[in-house]
Amino acid sequence: MLKQIHRAEIKLKGISTMIANLQARKDDIQTQIDQIAKQFGQSGADNDKLANKMAQLHKEMDDINEKLAARYKILDDANDTINEAKARLAEMREEHREMLKSLGEDNDLKATAIQKNILWTYNKMLTT
C-alpha cells in the first residue's frame, strides 16, 4: 500500500511539472499573440504574414490546451489514487489496532485461565 502511494506521489510530481511547463509555454504563446495583435494595421506591417503567424500560434495554443486537459485528468486520477490508498491504509491501521486490542484481551483471558489452573493444581497437590 505504501509503495502504491509512493508511486502515485512520484507520478503526481511529474505530471505537475509537465503542467507547469505547458502553462509556461501557453503564457509565452499568449504574449506573442498579444504582440502580433498590436502590430496589425500598423504602417509597414505585413498583415498576411502576421495573420499566418497568429494562426500558427492559435493552433499551438489549441494543442497545448488539449495536452493540459489530458494532464489535468491524469493529475486528478493520481490524486484520487493517493486519497483512496491513504484512506485504505488508515482503515488497515485501524483494523490492525483492533486486532491487537482483541489479541491482547484474549491473551489476558488465557493468562487468567492458566493462573487458575496452576492454583487449582497447586491446591490439589497440597490436599493430597
Predicted confidence (pLDDT) per residue in 6-34, tens digit: 887 888 899 999 999 999 999 999 999 99
The fraction of the chain above a pLDDT of 90, given in percent, is 38
The answer to whether 5 and 51 are in contact (CB under 8 A) is: no
* Diameter over CA atoms, the chain: 124
In the prediction, which pLDDT does 24 show? 97
Residue 122's pLDDT is what?
67
Does 1 score more than 70 pLDDT?
A: no
pTM for the full model? 0.65
- Of the pLDDT bands very low, low, confident and very high (cuts 50, 70, 90), residue 128 is low
Distance separating alpha carbons of residues 1 and 84, to the nearest angstrom:
10
What are the residue boundaries of the structural domains of the chain, listed by start? Answer: 2-101
**Sign of torsion, CA 82 83 88 94?**
positive
